[in-house]
Structure 1
């Protein structure tokens, strides 16, 4: 997908010569003449929205990025605002052309470094937390009470002697019982919990249960090949004698772990040890023009260093998956991606839903009309690197390079799967202003437009909106994002970390019947 970024006039952007629409850089007023196209604006058009560059007949496809984003539901005149009132989804053939665009990967001999934490088994962490996980919702209150005892804003003295421990975080959820013990839902939850229990960013983990839940701790451990150790401890509320005793036991156990956890030191390590989860939330009409392609540029830099990036949110690549299958290193990888698309089609059908229930209301206000348009912008986060593998939700990612993980489009659920798969950093683009963080992996926020940057500066780490204003190139912004990744991985705190985001955003994917 070629992104040319030529400016037809100061007021609009033309992204590709094949496009039927222009993108408003600012609000357009009725009667304005757009030069050099000579297009007269027929209705007011908000910034980030689309305007027709020529007449399109009813039923005909419209293109953005040189790709189909939908079909005209009525005659669209040159200068018309193009949005939900005159553009809709429709079926069309997509050529998967497996591996047609695979190219030699660029490699760097002297990869940049960051200051990472090398664990005894050789894995590299970007943070150093002690984690508290729950087997079931019923133990969430106890887990939170234990973590709260060590909160620096509540009890400043609790961790004063342990400056190398980033914190104690309780990651709770609403599942773990009233599910089929042999079903897909419980298996998925257990895989997710195991990914967190063994995550490099945790120096140690406590797993707390109630005692009578379906997701028995013994079953969790045995099904995931885990064993108790000094750094992976478990107990239940019922065996502890109740809530107060369970909380007291947990506090004692965390205290006994702090001294060893504090012994870590940061040291220079290659950027190849970064495993970055790619997210976009609260997207708008600028997402596919600024922040997403800039993040894609950073991804290409990371892959050249031998690192890994995880593209996800399967419903939000729907309609653009053919751009990824063309970059699959072999047909088998491409077909794995297509199989996940077909799974989602069947999943929506049996649940009486459709994949085009996305974009969200906020996405539409920001200028996105169909899932096709949103997906085409979303895949820009993947840069131009080859697709080397496809993973199911929360599977451990072992490949190096660009990979895909099958997740829902809902950001907390998607990022939870990525972190369970090993992501030690999250890069999150937003146009509407999503407030998000992700413990134990830091999350950086990339604003797609300058208005958002000015309005919500306290939540954003980089302003990519300058790309649309011709004051920064995609290449320069990509370099800035990559350098920020290295700094955040080295211990610099992102804006979401400074606000304390992370514990509440742990949301495992709940799939299957609850009885």
Structure 2
């Protein structure tokens, strides 16, 4: 099992160069992928096959006879074992693939290749907002954060006051957004969960895309506002203010005080302008949701190609969703710049194995109904596609959830596969844009860093074009190569970073997608 990302991307590019009804992703594969829905008895002479079943688009067909117990190979990577004898032309899916775990050699650093970094003078630029401390923003919001669920209603009411009409006088402010949450009190403290919540809130407060922030607490919660500020080295000032409801006078008084606090910050936040800055200031969170059989063939490898370009220009690509690299983690450890970095990734996977033991989670094999309907049989197959979003450059560091990212290049941040939780962690870590691939169609948006959604197939893009930004189905259709699609994605990133609104922004999404990871005991 020695496939790696570069081979996979090249194979995908070759596989999609023709309009054949089947895709052969790698010469070593014993399955083929249906480019379109195929019918029982259909003859495919170029492959010497007669189909023994009706096969949906994006699903797998046996390229030859596969004996029971033989590995099923896609991109020349093992995604399971044949649960029974499978004849050539048979439909291959969860009903006849057994998920069998096995040792995978991490081979730390074996596939590390030098990056051809562009000189600074030749790097792409975008129109960014440069903060006083040199950080670069892609958007300019004022954020209101709750230290505890008990103050979430108050912060929502404060944000709701600032309608587009009331913000007309501040054209450089993109909006006032409340980041409500559902914990902060009934939790163990001190604990990793408690630390994670504080780290996540602080990551948003410090985010360059916030021109001002207000933190609102209740007063008797475990996550005290004063303790949060002290532990995270946050200092109140003109653009960072705090309120405690029990001290302020209750709900109505806090809402009124919060409105006054935001009104005082608005003129300050409005004093910004965009200017040309290097693409090295981009930190892109990579996400996938509602994946299908085409996600790992077109959208994810194309996004990986875009990230390779970004890294060459000095930027940062952040892969996450640890359960969704399970089974193909060796593709990343082989690219780790040191055994220590590779071992960090394996340590996080070991933590997840213990965390999910005894629970029916996809880390243990079963993917969601939408994934299965889209052609993904199990977590190994889903992970194979998911990992491709990270491209082919060296893995420079592994971070815990919401830990500030201080490296440039390709990095990994530990998170669940649950989209809002993963993206919340990436933004808290510093991502100023999110790229979200989807095969079934995800209706997702985020603030203060906007989400760009990439469709894996043209029929879904056409059906949901109001929500989708980029059609990576052009790769599956054979009209663009992986490299050409990657270039288009990269150019789209620069326009979005410069202020061009995403589809989710036009629809007003992102106000309810702040979801810090709940990993601890609720008491």
Match of 1:440 in 2: 448
Residue 337 (structure 2) pairs with residue 329 (structure 1): yes
Per-residue deviation at 1:234?
0.6
Residues 88 and 369, structure 1, Cα contact 8 Å, conserved in 2? no
TM-score normalised by length of structure 2: 0.96
2:54 to 22, 44, 47: 44
Match of 1:138 in 2: 150
2:460 to 438, 444, 452: 452
Give the secondary structure class of the aligned counterpart of 1:190. Answer: helix
Residues 181 and 514, structure 2, Cα contact 8 Å, conserved in 1? yes
**In structure 2, distance between residues paired with 1:35 and 1:207:** 66
1:75 to 85, 107, 114: 85
Aligned length: 511
Q: Which runs of 4+ in 1 moved over 6 A?
A: none
Q: What do the CA deviations read for 1:170-227 (whole angstroms, capped 9, x no partner)?
A: 0111110111121111111001001001100001100001111111011111111212
2:123 to 111, 117, 121: 111
**In structure 1, distance between residues paired with 2:292 and 2:518:** 27
Residue 203 (structure 2) pairs with residue 195 (structure 1): yes
Per-residue deviation at 1:53?
0.4
TM-score normalised by length of structure 1: 0.98
Q: 1:279 to 1:353 in 2, by over 3 A?
A: closer
Match of 2:488 in 1: 480
Write out aligned runs for 1:67-466 (5 A).
67-109=77-119, 110-152=122-164, 156=165, 158-349=166-357, 355-466=363-474
Match of 2:65 in 1: 55
Match of 1:22 in 2: 32
Unaligned runs of 5+ in 1: none
Write out aligned runs for 1:482-497 (5 A).
482-497=490-505
Q: What do the CA deviations read for 1:351-387 (whole angstroms, capped 9, x no partner)?
A: 5756135421100000000100000101110111110
Unaligned runs of 5+ in 2: none
Residues 365 and 380, structure 2, Cα contact 8 Å, conserved in 1? no
Per-residue deviation at 1:88?
2.3
**In structure 2, distance between residues paired with 1:362 and 1:351:** 20
Residues 362 and 379, structure 2, Cα contact 8 Å, conserved in 1? no
Residues 356 and 370, structure 1, Cα contact 8 Å, conserved in 2? no
**In structure 1, distance between residues paired with 2:183 and 2:71:** 44
Match of 1:500 in 2: 508
Give the secondary structure class of the aligned counterpart of 1:493. Answer: coil
Which is further off, 280-289 or 27-36?
A: 27-36
